[in-house]
Chains A and B, each alone.
Chain A
Amino acid sequence: MKPHRLEEIGSQVKALEAMPAVPAIILPLTAMLQLPPDQVDVERVVELVSYDGTIAAHCLRMANSPLFGRRNTETVRSAVLALGLKRIEAILLGCCLNRIVPPDKWAFDPVMFWRHSLGCALVSRKMATLIGYPDPEKAYLASLLHDLGMLVNTLAYTEDYRKCIQAARDEHQALDQSEEVHLGFTHCQSGKMLAEHWHFSGDVIDVIEFHHHVVSPVGAPLVALVHLSDLLCRLRDLGYGYYEAMGVDLAGDAAWATLVEHHPALANMDLARLTMDIDGSMEEIVAVVDAVFKP
């Protein structure tokens, strides 16, 4: 495998837009994500959800999941209201993104990918609430999208990415390290390019770019939060689908220190309990993702 140059990845990312599989609603959707909550048009969201029968079914499935604390939701409108606008947008985005990748282009198991993304989103939101981070739904969305670059990599470099993931699996290595070696760039870099191209907000782009290396001064708490959630999920069987040989002292991680600086409540958080809560939610995360994303 030859390492790829960043300019080349940029042109690949631009080419993605021309793909017929890119759902038409993704652009209005990402535009909507930039709006303050009071300016988001509820009826337009219900319309977008109803536009696609599969997506509507997914929203209902999620709205009825105990993970979101709701039951007996029967209409798209009540699902939208029950889940909350931000979360509906995040679900829509997840469903849309999944469709970008044709079945033969997946270098990894999409179900595993969405289990990790949804697990991470739920953990981020829970941690955000526990430590008093002001926008838990932003944390949810940023986490859901943090590995966007994996979709770019699998679309644009399918065969190389298959080998890269196999190497990571064989070496029990972190994916970004294997990408660095085998592709010459990471999903953080390619994800950032697509996120910029789609005009995602700056803090979400920061999360996508820096979630493996917390050095971003902008939006530092959000990046740190997603970094820790990502690690926690990878350590609790919600990772990339293979064994990563690692031991992590989360409270000794640079991201922990960054987050404690902004949110001192983190220093007293019961990490063992949070970990067991993640384990407890596992069954439902798997059930929801399987229901939404399994072919």
Chain B
Amino acid sequence: MSSDDPVVHLLADLDRPVSPRIRFHDLLLAQLLTELEEATRRKPEAVTPDRSQGPDSSVVRPRRRRLGRMALAMAVVAGTAVAALFASSPWKSAPGFLEEVQAALTPPAGAVLHWKVVMTPNMAGCKVTFPASEYWQDLTPPYNYRGFEVQQQGGICGPGKLTEIGGEWASGKPAVGFFPPNTLKGTQFAWDPDIGPDPMADLRQAIADGFAHREGRTVLDDGRAVERIRQDCDLVKFPQCLDSSYWYVDPQTFKPVRHLSGPGLRPGPGATCSAPCWTTDYVTYESLDGISANRALADIRAQHPDAIER
């Protein structure tokens, strides 16, 4: 096996660490910690035969739970309990409030949705605020989308960097990414088919189906007054849902301000959750007119007409 051997040389280049998808990292860690916690709660002699090994394991397998669709869906399914909330009581439900939210979050036909979020995962003993992610979604078939998505670097506590991605929701295919100086190339990111082309459709549907509940007025840690909505799991439609998530909307415009999600999440002062959990802060959420200039914002190929696609 000479070092001059081209086969050896080529294969040797393969030994390098690769960070897996964040969602995979998180759910596998949660699964493993649960396994360990179960073990530490038992007396040593009471440890039962390991059920976690091998392909027949009864432990939930993350990939089977549609974890492959983490990218853009993170903006609507992620959240953490870092907000210091000062809830006023009693929580009362005003008639029509949820319907007003539903209406405010229903975009006009043919619009182009534009939103910008800052996501903060809280997991593995660290809290990282990613660079702001920004997306455009054309609500006209084939539902082009384009966005600047966080690709995590430097381990789970790394800051991540933004990469421009885009595609067609209707195709179900993974997004292509733009790689400077001039290349479009396939990526592993894809829009979660459960979410649909409109990221607020899930919340609107939850309101329609009775899974969303107004919890009342509260104040976020930055002083903003908001209304809190609890969205419970619709396990028929989303069997992979782990726990209720929480939306905070502006009391005047009803637009999203923050979303918290994560297993075992308990909002409010001293909020807690069992890792991993996420905060998604909405910097912008708006409907743009469906004119060609705006539709082009959702089309990565239109933004890079001279790019070489591989």
- Asked if chains A and B come from one complex, the reply is no
Residues of B within 8 A of A (CB): none
Residues of A within 8 A of B (CB): none
